[in-house]
Amino acid sequence: MFSINYSKIRPIFIYYISAGEQVIKVIPQTLKQLIIFLKLHTRTYYQQLIDISAIDNYKSKLRFEVVYQLLSITYNQRLIISVSISEGMPVNSITSIYSSANWYEREVWDRFGIYFTSHPDLRRRLTDYGFKGHPLRKDFPLTGYIEVQYSDYHKRILYSPVFLIQEYRTFTFDSKLNFELCPFRLEV
């Protein structure tokens, strides 16, 4: 079914234990080979993919970290596989190994914009098809780009640009607050 070249994956990963969980950090080129090995080898036998998620490290050179969580029911073991990638760099899809990866990879694509190569149906899962951007990226604005509301008068959903009543302000720990303009006062 799958052919594995063990010499390609053996030296290219880092194994450690973090908070009682086994973690393997691997480069993107060897991810698929490693997951095939972990699923089929008799000493590991990770039959179930629990989840695929991502972390946005906004200021880092390798901006995204894709995290796979596997479960071996036979050995009662959990394993976390982590792949660090830069923005715009694709990751190999593992839908041919675990069919449940289809939904998880679609969710990561929808929320973070991480592209999975050779994915059978990579489209948005949780947001509208016309949605612009990826909402879990740290550079995505908190208010979004458009406002969605249902109109009883028009009997349909209306899309409009976000209109903020108050101008957006940034606060820092160094900025002084002006309590004279405060609409309420706490008397001590």
Does pLDDT of 115 surpass 50? Answer: yes
**Token pair 């908070």: residue:** 19
CATH 3.30.460.80 assigned to domain 6-181? The reply is yes
Task: Tell me, yes or no, if the pTM score tops 0.85.
Answer: no
Listed in sequence order, the residues at least 6 apart from 38 whose beta carbon sits closer than 8 Å to its beta carbon are 44, 46, 70, 79, 81
Distance of CA 52 to the CA centre of its chain: 7
Provide the pLDDT for residue 5: 56
> What mean pLDDT value characterizes the chain?
84
Q: What is the pLDDT of residues 10-48, one digit of tens each?
A: 546 788 787 888 999 999 999 999 999 999 998 889 999
Rounded CA separation 161/146 (Å): 4
Does pLDDT of 183 surpass 80? Answer: no
Q: What is the pLDDT of residues 133-153, one digit of tens each?
A: 888 998 887 777 788 889 999
The burial class, CB within 10 Å (0-12 / 13-18 / 19+), for 187 is: exposed
